[in-house]
Amino acid sequence: MGKKILVIGQGGREHALVWKLAQSPEVEKIYAAPGNPGMAGLAQCEDIEVDDLSEILYFAWSQKIDLTVVGPEVPLMAGIVELFHDHDLQIFGPTSMAARLEGSKVFAKNLLHKYNIPTAAYETFESFDPALEFALGFVSNGRRVVIKADGLAAGKGVIIASTEAEARTALISMMQERQFGGAGDQVVIEEFLEGEEVSFFAISDGQNYLPLIAAQDHKQVFDNDQGPNTGGMGAYVNPPVFTAELHQEVLNKIIEPVIYAMQAEGCPYQGVLYAGLMITADGPKVLEFNCRFGDPETQAIMPMLEGDLLPVLEASARGDIKGVEMGLKPGSCVCLVLASGGYPESYQKGFPITGLDAVDHDTLVFHAGTAKKSGQIVTNGGRVLNVVKTGATIREAIDKVYREAAKISFENMHYRKDIGRKALVRED
């Protein structure tokens, strides 16, 4: 009998994971909680929310799920992995103690500092006045400063301030007005790092790890990195800034020491470790960690994986990843996000999407914010669709992705026109 898999989540990342896992010869059936209409042909979608831990547990137990794969961070931080372990169910992801690497920036920065892992110089604060004084030390010297709420803040907890007014406003809203609730009771204030950002992914079993691949996200909503930050407007793999030497340096100076540090601290890290890196003139430095796959990076990564993903996730969950390998395909892959106009601020939903049948047979369209209404796929979120194309080169993948995206439309559709441009500039 084949295996039953449950994927938790509903975005483009989870659609890409379902798509990849569905290719495993070992898989008999995939369920998604709650899933989305795009993955409905590959997975049976169950109407269970990602934070409803007891419902998820009951479902996995009653359906005899062989492996549960957690997409988003929220259930991880809420302790879904411990809950599953207590019930002898296999699950891919870190425990809530290990997920503090993402859930608490104070925890992550202090760990990096203690184990001498490269990151921006910083201080942490629990009260407003010393925090402001420290931040002003940067801006009054004409330097930018980065102010970060300690906890999860829906991607809005990081402010880059250039002036005294900006620094003050950020600290007032985090620490005094408690814009993010308890997440802003502590803040990290750090130096601004110049460079190009790279997301690096490795899968660990707590002791050993399998390096996966690097990708580059495009966080701002408009071209040339203008406008507010979003969840990510597009991504491509193997950014040229991330050379083979840098790759090795990141393994030696960042990934291995972090896995060691988490073990030494008594909270070994099992799951995918997503290192958000700044490639500075002084080498790679950690901006942040995430305890899950990246979105939209995963949509560009999954098509690059040569082999079966399932044994890798199982080995991580079991704690014996040593010797497990994952081949990568040659060439490149690009993911372009089609978003609702107005995102990441307010936007309308419910617009019919046309052209989904018009794309080439080998074009991947991973759904994110979509819904099915009277048989029609409509928009239902900020990031609506992910158009994904592979190519022999990054240039080819970019050309193809834009050609395919032009076939799809919905009212107020917005996408960046410059996904992958940094790679092209480096190649020219």
- In the complex, the residues that contact ligand GLY under the rule CB under 6 A are 217, 232, 290, 294-295, 297
Query: Between residues 171 and 364, which has the closer beta carbon with respect to ligand AMP?
Result: 171
Q: Kindly tell me which residue out of 59, 115, 128, 192 binds ligand AMP, with binding defined by CB under 6 A.
A: 192
Q: Does 190 bind ligand AMP (CB under 6 A)?
A: yes
Quick one: what does residue 290 bind among ligand GLY, ligand AMP, none, with the CB cut-off 5 to 8 Å set by partner type? ligand GLY
Task: Give counts: helices (H), strands (E), the chain.
Answer: 14, 22
Collapse the DSSP code of 281 into the 3-class scheme (helix H, G, I; strand E, B; otherwise coil) and give the result: coil
Q: Contact, 66 vs 82, CB < 8 A?
A: no
Q: Contact, 311 vs 21, CB < 8 A?
A: no
Stretch that binds ligand AMP, among 173-181, 192-200, 361-369, 391-399 (CB under 6 A): 192-200
Query: Between residues 35 and 151, which has the closer beta carbon with respect to ligand AMP?
Result: 151
From the CB of 234, what's the least distance to ligand GLY, in Å?
Answer: 10
The one-letter amino acid code at 415 reads: Y
Q: Contact, 263 vs 281, CB < 8 A?
A: no
The Cα 144–Cα 190 span in angstroms is 9
Q: Contact, 340 vs 371, CB < 8 A?
A: no
From the CB of 157, what's the least distance to ligand AMP, in Å?
Answer: 7
- Tell me the Cα Rg of the chain: 21
Look up tokens 């914010």; give the residue. Answer: 369
Query: Between residues 335 and 364, which has the closer beta carbon with respect to ligand GLY?
Result: 335
Quick one: what does residue 416 bind among ligand AMP, ligand GLY, none, with the CB cut-off 5 to 8 Å set by partner type? none
- Which of the 8 DSSP states describes residue 18? H
Query: Between residues 148 and 389, which has the closer beta carbon with respect to ligand AMP?
Result: 148
Judged by CB under 6 A, the number of residues near ligand AMP is: 13
The one-letter amino acid code at 200 reads: F
Q: Does 193 bind ligand AMP (CB under 6 A)?
A: yes
Instruction: Collect all residues with Cβ–Cβ distance below 8 Å to 333 and sequence separation of at least 6.
Output: 236, 237, 300, 301, 303, 304, 388, 389, 390, 391, 397
From the CB of 123, what's the least distance to ligand AMP, in Å?
Answer: 13
Q: Is the dihedral of CA 296, 297, 303, 307 positive or negative?
A: negative
Query: Between residues 268 and 294, which has the closer beta carbon with respect to ligand GLY?
Result: 294
**Ramachandran sector of residue 206 (left: φ over 0; alpha: ψ -120 to 50; beta: rest):** left
Query: Between residues 130 and 228, which has the closer beta carbon with respect to ligand AMP?
Result: 228
From the CB of 225, what's the least distance to ligand AMP, in Å?
Answer: 9
- Which of the 8 DSSP states describes residue 262? H
Two tokens, residue 193? 């790092």
Quick one: what does residue 66 bind among ligand AMP, ligand GLY, none, with the CB cut-off 5 to 8 Å set by partner type? none
Instruction: Collect all residues with Cβ–Cβ distance below 8 Å to 252 and sequence separation of at least 6.
Output: none
Q: Does 101 bind ligand AMP (CB under 6 A)?
A: no
Quick one: what does residue 294 bind among ligand GLY, ligand AMP, none, with the CB cut-off 5 to 8 Å set by partner type? ligand GLY
Quick one: what does residue 158 bind among ligand GLY, ligand AMP, none, with the CB cut-off 5 to 8 Å set by partner type? ligand AMP
Q: Kindly tell me which residue out of 45, 287, 337, 364 binds ligand AMP, with binding defined by CB under 6 A.
A: 287
Query: Mask: binding to ligand AMP, 154-173, rule CB under 6 A, as x and -?
Result: ----x-x-------------
From the CB of 156, what's the least distance to ligand AMP, in Å?
Answer: 10
Query: Between residues 193 and 213, which has the closer beta carbon with respect to ligand AMP?
Result: 193
Q: Does 197 bind ligand AMP (CB under 6 A)?
A: yes
Residue 108: enclosing H or E segment and its boundaries?
A: helix 105-114
Quick one: what does residue 314 bind among ligand GLY, ligand AMP, none, with the CB cut-off 5 to 8 Å set by partner type? none
| Long-range contacts of the stretch 51-56 (C-beta < 8 A, 24+) | 51/75, 51/78, 53/78, 53/79, 53/80, 53/83, 56/6, 56/8, 56/80
Residue ranges in contact with ligand AMP by CB under 6 A: 120, 146, 148, 158, 160, 190, 192-193, 197, 219, 276, 287-288
